[in-house]
Amino acid sequence: MNQSRLCLVILVFGLLQCLLLGLIALMPAAENVGGLIHPLFNSMRVGGDGAARFLPVADLAYWFQILMLGQVCCMIALGVRPDRRSSRFWVQLGASFGLLAAAWTIMYQAYEAFLISGQTQMVAGWPYPTAWQVYAIWLSGFGLVALYVFGFKAYVWSDDDEIQFRELLEQSKAP
């Protein structure tokens, strides 16, 4: 994918995100969306019905995050020289996006199921949706970290780049 197309994809993702935010802003606010006054402490607010607050915007929020993850991956690709964006690079970047999207989707579905049913299981001391947030969401980013660490010389700064840079330094020092 060339630079212009990649920039266009990033722009389209951004515009779609703006559209989703606009749709969320135009939705009527759910009752008690700001919380309820705590019965004992007037300065404290309690949540109220989470399903009533979240479910009307849930799908829009889900797709906003998917677009954001895609946009991040596209921006990473934009940071790699076009001649170094091999099919292997795209597969690795796609797999990283898939890992991120899968972790987000499972966490989202677990949270939505909890709001609908009011029941969840505990995993390693956390409610199931929270366990996905605590243990999986941040771990899913390691696909991108691995792409950077193991692909650095192939995609970002090769040995040839280093040699050319050193030659340029030597040339700039010469009188």
**Residue range 117-130, pLDDT digits in tens:** 989 999 998 999 99
pLDDT at position 141: 92
Tell me the pLDDT tens digit for each residue of 123-168. Answer: 998 999 999 989 998 899 999 999 999 999 999 898 999 999 999 9
Give the pair of three-digit tokens for residue 79: 């940071």
φ, ψ of residue 2 in degrees (nearest 5)? -80, 170
- Distance, CA of 37 to CA of 46 (rounded, Å): 6
Q: Which helix (H) or strand (E) holds 37?
A: strand 36-37
**Where exactly are the structural domains of the chain?**
3-173
pTM of the model: 0.84
pLDDT at position 66: 98
Q: What is the average pLDDT score of the chain?
A: 91
Give the pair of three-digit tokens for residue 41: 């402490």
The answer to whether the CB of 114 falls within 8 A of the CB of 130 is no
Spans in the chain with pLDDT lower than 70: none
